[in-house]
Amino acid sequence: GEGRGRGKMAAGGAADAQARFGHSVKGLLTEKVTSCGTDVIALTKQVLKGSRSAELLGQAARNMVMQEDAILHSEDSLRKMAIITTHLQYQ
């Protein structure tokens, strides 16, 4: 009967070690998943910030084009007024 008892204890010890190992693996996995989740959130924030800044850059470019248009239009108007002024002076 002695050998069987020892076998049970060894099996119990092995089961205990296995449980501890499973627990530590589960702990490591949880840790990894958490850090991975954190990384994904950081990456998402970065991507959103990037797309936001791209959007802002596009908006700035459109504004510049509009301003350039307005400047060119004003320049044109000034040129026309100068011509009119010159004509009026000659009359």
The candidate with the shortest Cα–Cα distance to 52, out of 44, 63, 41, is: 44
User: Which tokens go with 65?
Assistant: 């084009």
Question: In 3D, which of 62, 81, 84 has the Cα closest to residue 73?
Answer: 81
**31-51 pLDDT, tens per residue?**
888 888 889 889 888 888 888
Average pLDDT over residues 26-32: 85
Residue 58, classed as helix, strand or coil, is helix
State the pTM of this model: 0.43
- CA–CA separation, 40 vs 29, rounded Å? 16
